[in-house]
Amino acid sequence: MVRHTPPDTGSDSEKTRVNVMSALAACESGCENTEEVIAELDPPPPAGRIVREQMEKAEMHRSIPDAAEFLTRAEDGFIDALAIIVVPRDLRENRRIAVISRPFAYVRWFKSIRTSVVAPQRYVTDFASIPGWARWLIAPFGKHAEAAVIHDWLYAIGAPGDENARKRADDLFRLALKDLGVNLLSRNAMHRAVRAGGKNSFGDPSEFRFRHLDTLQPVQPSPSRAPYMKTVAFKSRSA
């Protein structure tokens, strides 16, 4: 491991600044162990937290999953288990929220198009964003949770006003519900609920949110959407 030793400076604040800059330089060159780098630089605790969060943000960009890699997969369905960290005390419109702790992917053929979606690590989901009027019938969390995470992510990176993309997201949601064994009545009800009440949420900046895995604090400022567009990929049968 390359050592980044900050120069000896006259004030603690200046040492902290140099340590932070050194840690970020280390991370830009590629660091495998954030805690090891922080321990080596030995910044005071507040600066250590800043360094850790800044390094994690840099790692976010390097580790954005490429959905195209899953298009060659033979089977339809979810890839691996959903891994989450439930955020204590925080709610979104009276729903529990959770952070995705490892990338979560789903692949499906629909109308001669194969779609691959990967909800990335650190993304915050509130599961089924069911309108209030429908929650007496459908709970935000349940057998449909994995489908809700994929649907949330498609809404998070959607372009506002793109009704074709929103319809694809909603239709894929219904197919994912079927793959999870959700009964016909429930999956049709959930599909109708998102079709009726989801228009304003599609592409809303508030849907695109991330949290640090160690502190569970929001990533600020929110990262750019552009690099995350590769988390959705398509392939036609004729391709």
Token pair, residue 156, equals 């998070």
Residue spans per domain, the chain: 12-62, 67-236
Please report, as a single letter, which amino acid is at residue 176: A
Tens-digit pLDDT profile for residues 130-153: 555 555 455 656 788 999 999 999
Tens-digit pLDDT profile for residues 29-65: 455 555 666 666 666 666 666 666 666 666 777 779 9
C-alpha 69, offset from chain centre: 17
Token pair, residue 134, equals 């429908």
Residue 160 has pLDDT above 70, yes or no: yes
Res. 158 pLDDT band, cuts 50 70 90:
very high
**pTM of the predicted model, to two decimals?**
0.76
Tens-digit pLDDT profile for residues 187-228: 998 899 888 888 888 999 989 999 988 889 998 888 889 999
Distances (CA, A) of 79 to 71, 108, 208: 12, 11, 22
Angle at 224 between CA 221 and CA 225, to 5 degrees: 130
Model pLDDT, residue 111: 86
Contact status, residue 237 vs residue 112, Cβ threshold 8 Å: yes
Rounded mean pLDDT, 70-87: 92
